[in-house]
Amino acid sequence: MQKTIIIAEAGPNHNGKLKLAFRLVDLAKRAGANYVKFQTSIPEEHITADARKAKYQLINTGKKSSQLKMAKGMTLSFKEFEKLKKYCDKKNIKFLSTAFGLSAINFLTKFKMEYYKIPSGEINNLVYLKKIGQLKKKVILSTGMSNLNEIGTAIKILISSGTKRENITVLQCNTEYPTPFKDVNLKAMLTIKKKFSVNVGYSDHTEGIEASVVAAALGAKIIEKHITINKNLPGPDHKASITEKELKDLISKVRNVETILGNDKKKPSQSEKKNIKIARNSLVANSKIKKGEKFTSKNLTIKRPGTGISPMNYYKVLGKKAVKNFKKDEIIKL
Contact yes or no for 155/169 (Cβ under 8 A): no
- Please check whether residues 54 and 185 belong to one and the same domain: yes
Taking the C-alpha atoms of residue 201 and residue 71, their distance in angstroms, rounded to an integer, is 27
Taking the C-alpha atoms of residue 98 and residue 81, their distance in angstroms, rounded to an integer, is 12
Binned at pLDDT 50, 70 and 90, residue 102 comes out as: very high
This prediction has a pTM of 0.90
According to the model, what pLDDT value does residue 290 have?
97
Of 48-52, 112-116, 172-176, 222-226, the least confident: 48-52
- Please check whether residues 211 and 288 belong to one and the same domain: no
- Please check whether residues 103 and 195 belong to one and the same domain: yes
CATH number of the domain bearing residue 122: 3.20.20.70
Taking the C-alpha atoms of residue 253 and residue 216, their distance in angstroms, rounded to an integer, is 9
- Please check whether residues 239 and 299 belong to one and the same domain: no
User: At 53, is the secondary structure helix, strand, or coil?
Assistant: coil
For residue 305, the enclosing domain spans 267-334
Q: What single string gives the DSSP state of each residue in 86-122?
A: HHHHHHT-EEEEEEESHHHHHHHGGG--SEEEE-GGG
Binned at pLDDT 50, 70 and 90, residue 71 comes out as: confident
- Statement: residue 44 has pLDDT above 90: no
Contact yes or no for 167/114 (Cβ under 8 A): no
Mean pLDDT of the chain: 95
Task: Read off the pLDDT of residues 163-211 as tens digits, 9 standing for 90 and up.
Answer: 999 999 999 999 999 999 999 999 999 999 999 999 999 999 999 999 9
Contact yes or no for 76/38 (Cβ under 8 A): yes
Taking the C-alpha atoms of residue 95 and residue 159, their distance in angstroms, rounded to an integer, is 25
Most distant CA pair in the chain, distance: 101
- Please check whether residues 230 and 189 belong to one and the same domain: yes
With CA atoms as reference, report the closest residue to 158 among 189, 115, 194.
115
Domain boundary (245, 261, 277) is at 261
Domain boundary (217, 244, 261) is at 261
Task: Read off the pLDDT of residues 232-248 as tens digits, 9 standing for 90 and up.
Answer: 998 888 888 999 999 99
According to the model, what pLDDT value does residue 63 have?
66
Domain boundary (236, 261, 286) is at 261
Nearest 5°: phi and psi at 283?
-80, 130
According to the model, what pLDDT value does residue 54 have?
72
- Statement: residue 23 has pLDDT above 90: yes
Among positive and negative, which fits the CA dihedral 24, 25, 29, 34? positive
User: At 1, is the secondary structure helix, strand, or coil?
Assistant: coil
- Please check whether residues 247 and 311 belong to one and the same domain: no
Taking the C-alpha atoms of residue 29 and residue 36, their distance in angstroms, rounded to an integer, is 8
